[in-house]
């Protein structure tokens, strides 16, 4: 059973790691709906 398909995803990216839009693109490619994406900055 797919973990992500049809799920609502909150993407919390990191400016120094993997940013929100990159997570969003990946989640969408797995059939999830991204309901919020952001990129945090820990500096």
The contact set with other proteins (CB under 8 A) reads: 2-5, 7-14, 16-20, 22-23, 25-27, 29-32, 35-36, 38-40, 42
Taking the complex as a whole, the smallest distance from the CB of residue 22 to other proteins amounts, in Å, to 4
Taking the complex as a whole, the smallest distance from the CB of residue 27 to other proteins amounts, in Å, to 6
Taking the complex as a whole, the smallest distance from the CB of residue 37 to other proteins amounts, in Å, to 9
Question: Which tokens go with 31?
Answer: 């059939």
Q: How many CB atoms lie within 10 A of CB 12?
A: 11
Buried b (16+ CB within 10 A) or exposed e, 28-43: eeeebebeebebeeee
């Amino acid at each position: 059973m797919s973990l992500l398909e049809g799920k609502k995803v909150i993407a919390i990216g990191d400016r120094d790691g993997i940013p929100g839009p990159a997570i969003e693109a990946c989640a969408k490619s797995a059939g999830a709906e991204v309901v919020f994406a952001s990129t945090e900055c820990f500096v």
